Structure 1
């Protein structure tokens, strides 16, 4: 069972201290990031969310997502791992547009993997 915090709608799921996946945090971060607009979001905002979301994605990638049994899940996991590998992460030299796209890619894959995780663990789908 996932740790779900106190967010409305997710609070009735009990938290399991042995499960580091925080459904509420991932939902909150991805909602925020996917709400960013290129013309109005600052690089500072993106720089704030990138490590937080990448960390949550890494936690999700360590969970049992069924990648051994499902080729499509395996492909999503491969793409997600590629995004969070150090050589592929944006740096201070990366243009803001590329940082924006990278952050949205992480948010989109996090959402997909979170859905897979919640289905596999019989949790309410966020």
Structure 2
């Protein structure tokens, strides 16, 4: 079992995780509605959500005993591994479903990262 490390304010400030930005992105992505959103609006979130989710998955978020965090990380890793990013030829509904799932997983990992690092989340 790895020794737990207390995160310093300097480490949090130097982190590439921008809580406010990622939170805003996930809020906007989850606010999309299938019946009123254009394909371009939906696709506009794909790369940034994929990048944010990948970034959070790469962080050390969970102690071995934090089963909730471990479960969310496992879900996110599985999602990134098995669900291909939508492309310009992906049917709109699939792109929409992928975007919502990616935003939801990103939001959950952001909360875990924020709690672990003592960062206030919007």
Paired residues of 2:61 and 2:116 also in contact (CA < 8 A)? yes
Root mean square deviation, CA, Å: 2.2
Distance (Å, rounded) in 1 between the aligned partners of 2:89 and 2:12: 40
Partner secondary structure for residue 80 of structure 1: helix
> 2:92 is matched with which residue: 83, 91, 96?
96
Structure having the higher helix fraction is: 2
CA distance in 2 between counterparts of 1:98 and 1:87 reads 10
For residue 105 of structure 2, what is the aligned residue in structure 1? 109
Moved over 4 A (4+): 13-17
Q: What's the CA shift string for 1:34-91, capped at 9, x where partnerless?
A: 1101011111111111101110111111112115332222221122122233762223
Aligned length: 114
The 5 Å alignment of 1:1-126 reads 16=12, 18-66=14-62, 68-85=64-81, 88-126=84-122
Unaligned 5+ segments in structure 2 are 1-8
Q: Distance in 1 between matches of 2:99 and 2:10?
A: 30
Provide the TM-score with structure 2 as the length reference: 0.80
Q: 1 or 2 for the larger relative contact order (CA 8 Å, sep ≥6)?
A: 2
Asked if 2 retains the 8 angstrom alpha-carbon contact of 1:83 and 1:89, the reply is no
Classify the secondary structure of the residue corresponding to 1:76.
helix
Contact 1:67 1:77 (8 Å CA) reproduced:
no
